Amino acid sequence: MTLFDHALIFLLFVVQPISSWVNFRRYVKKIQAGEPVDRPRLYSATQAVQWAFLAVLAGGWIYLARPASDLGFLPPQGSGFWLMAAAIAAGGIAMNQSVRSVVRLDQSERERLRKSFGDIGHFLPQSDRDLAGFYRLSVTAGIVEEIVFRGFVLWYLALIMPMWAAILVSSVAFGLGHSYQGAGGMLRTGLAGIALGVLFVISGSIWLPIVAHALLDWLQGRQIREIYRDVQGAATT
């Protein structure tokens, strides 16, 4: 490990959670003051930050002459990979059914779900235009966050602790990185991090966690968009 690695870990474990929470509260105050929310623009800004961080990681990795395989870039192989691929396919089908079930909700139930989102609802896809931007963000998050947290962070932590502990610690950091979602959001994200870490270890490569993460975010975006749809007259702008 080098100073480069330590600096990235500090950014991920300390700076990013704090800045995410501070920025979120600042945006909420602006919204409460009457400023309109441009969700596609916020999604694009988030993507830019994520790709920039990945570029720094990739540049350092290349400069230090480290193999891409250390980040999990290995070809599909072994029964573990195909077993996990089947599990992702089954999970995707089940979640897609859940998305379709939202279509049958009446307006009062949709309103109840909207209120349950709290302040985070301001940033969720509420129109078809929002959803298009959220889809792009989902793909970015799947690629960048998996390479960073399941690739780099697990590589870093596994040098100083057992893999099971590395998965737990990285998942805590992953949850803290979503501190703006509140305690419940951090818990859900942390648990998702554990599942993705286990998926990474069993499958033996980063490819399936990337697909699983992007697919989960993509389908959640569709589900949330449907919750915000007015069944008496859908808004699509």
Q: Which pLDDT band holds residue 230 (cuts at 50, 70, 90)?
A: confident
Averaged confidence pLDDT in the chain = 89
201-220: average pLDDT = 92
pLDDT at 24: 87
pLDDT at 86: 92
Q: Which pLDDT band holds residue 231 (cuts at 50, 70, 90)?
A: low
Q: Which pLDDT band holds residue 232 (cuts at 50, 70, 90)?
A: low
DSSP letter at 160?
T
pLDDT at 234: 43
Q: What is the pLDDT of residues 105-122, one digit of tens each?
A: 888 888 888 988 888 888
pLDDT at 149: 93
How many angstroms separate the Cα of 46 from the Cα of each of 23, 41, 69, 133, 148?
A: 12, 9, 27, 11, 15
Q: What is the pLDDT of residues 184-202, one digit of tens each?
A: 778 888 898 999 999 999 9
Is residue 180 within 8 A of residue 187, CB to CB? The reply is no
Q: What share of the chain is helix, strand, coil (3-state, %, to 5)?
A: 80, 0, 20
Torsional sign, CA 8, 14, 17, 23: negative
8-28: average pLDDT = 90
87-101, 138-152, 219-233: segment of lowest average pLDDT: 219-233
pLDDT at 235: 43
Phi/psi class of residue 182: alpha, beta or left (left: φ > 0; alpha: ψ in -120 to 50)? left
94-106: average pLDDT = 83
Q: Which pLDDT band holds residue 14 (cuts at 50, 70, 90)?
A: very high
Cα(106)–Cα(120) distance, rounded to whole angstroms? Answer: 22
Task: Give percent of the chain above pLDDT 70.
Answer: 97
| pLDDT over 70 at 57, yes or no | yes
The alpha-helical segments, DSSP class H, found in 117-181 are 128-145, 154-158, 163-176
pLDDT at 236: 40
60-72: average pLDDT = 94
13-22, 152-161, 210-219, 223-232: segment of lowest average pLDDT: 223-232
Could you tell me the pTM of the whole model?
Answer: 0.86
DSSP letter at 35?
P
pLDDT at 181: 77
